[in-house]
């Protein structure tokens, strides 16, 4: 009698079914504000470290230990976010549940300690991404290493990937960027219109507090009076971010820092998760699928707001996005490293 060979079905192609919010969370502003303010996400049991940066500064880093044979996930937060942002907490908790290690740096001055140098953090700081990922590689040389960037952190990560090209594979295996402001000029100007002005003004509140503290450290390093009078992100960046980080003005800062022109040069498998209704993003800021290299997947959801993707009714939940991202990353892993039981 001939032997019967049982073949496993091929894996389900990515992406899985699309995001679908509950009826009362279909508004993109509810998604955006709800994701940032309303969803209770348990705080991970972080272990805090202070890393010395190559330029003599300090970086506050939160970590979770995982199994020695499973991946490490590095998370980069967005503008005025931190490792305590709900989206970072939710993804860190989900990754730890799979046995993965997590590294969540705070960008300069975004943790509980003000950094030491006459600078803050900025959207084009790919050298910051570089030294962080090099250190992670040195500490985890024998497992897969993935990275996820959110919003501003997504732009920084994608800019670094495009600049590194094939060389990025020395330090990272696969990446995800969520709600990325690919074109900073288009997004910055978009945040001055209509209801979107609320978000720009919200960011300015904490940015001005950081500017005041930095100016107290380094008097005269930028025009504090003009910075505190800023009514838009462009004005703030003209008077504070540009002079602190070596740019002529906000226009040069935004143009040189945008990741959009570098996307065709990315050579690592990368997922770009975006929502069409993201209130931060005018349609012109999104990349065309035609310019993306074969390994870069544009996952364009109809709804989700800006880093929202909140589902459920009562209580609303923040579990769709972590599951979605880890599903993408886990499809490239053997069962021994992705934390799933192969018999399931």
| Residue showing tokens 């931060």 | 280
265 is catalytic: no
Catalytic residue, from 77, 106, 122, 306: name it: 306
306 is catalytic: yes
223 is catalytic: no
Catalytic residue, from 125, 173, 183, 278: name it: 278
Catalytic residue, from 85, 126, 151, 311: name it: 151
C-alpha 141/C-alpha 102 separation (Å) is 15
Pairing of strands 145-150, 270-275: unpaired
Report the catalytic residues: 151, 278, 306
């Amino acid at each position: 009698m001939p032997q019967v060979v049982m073949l496993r079905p091929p894996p389900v192609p990515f992406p899985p079914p699309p995001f679908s919010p509950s009826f009362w969370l279909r508004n993109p502003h509810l998604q955006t504000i709800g994701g940032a303010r309303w969803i209770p996400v348990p705080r991970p049991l972080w272990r805090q470290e202070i890393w010395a940066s190559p330029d003599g500064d300090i970086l506050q880093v939160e970590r979770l230990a995982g199994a020695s044979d499973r991946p490490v996930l590095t998370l980069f937060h967005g503008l005025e976010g931190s490792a305590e942002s709900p989206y970072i907490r939710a993804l860190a908790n989900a990754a730890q549940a799979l046995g993965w290690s997590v590294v969540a740096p705070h960008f300069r001055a975004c943790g509980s300690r003000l950094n030491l140098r006459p600078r803050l953090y900025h959207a084009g700081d790919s050298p910051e991404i570089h030294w962080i990922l090099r250190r992670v590689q040195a500490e985890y040389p024998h497992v897969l290493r993935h990275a996820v960037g959110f919003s501003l952190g997504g732009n920084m990560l994608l800019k670094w990937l495009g600049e590194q090209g094939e060389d990025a594979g020395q330090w990272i295996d696969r990446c995800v960027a969520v709600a990325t402001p690919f074109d900073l000029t288009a997004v910055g100007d978009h945040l001055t219109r209509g209801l979107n002005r609320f978000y720009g003004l919200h960011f300015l509140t904490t940015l001005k507090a950081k500017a005041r503290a930095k100016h107290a450290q380094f008097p005269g390093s930028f025009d504090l009076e003009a910075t505190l009078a800023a009514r838009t992100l462009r004005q703030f960046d003209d008077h504070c971010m540009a002079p602190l980080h070596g740019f002529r003005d906000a226009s040069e800062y935004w143009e040189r820092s945008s990741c959009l022109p570098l996307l065709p040069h990315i050579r690592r498998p990368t997922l770009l998760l975006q929502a069409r209704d993201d209130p931060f993003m005018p349609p012109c800021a999104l990349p065309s699928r035609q310019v993306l290299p074969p390994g870069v997947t544009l996952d364009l959801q109809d709804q989700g707001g800006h880093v929202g993707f909140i589902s459920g009714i009562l209580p609303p939940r923040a579990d769709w996005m972590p599951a979605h991202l880890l599903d993408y990353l886990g499809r490239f892993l053997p069962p021994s490293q992705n934390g799933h039981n192969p018999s399931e």
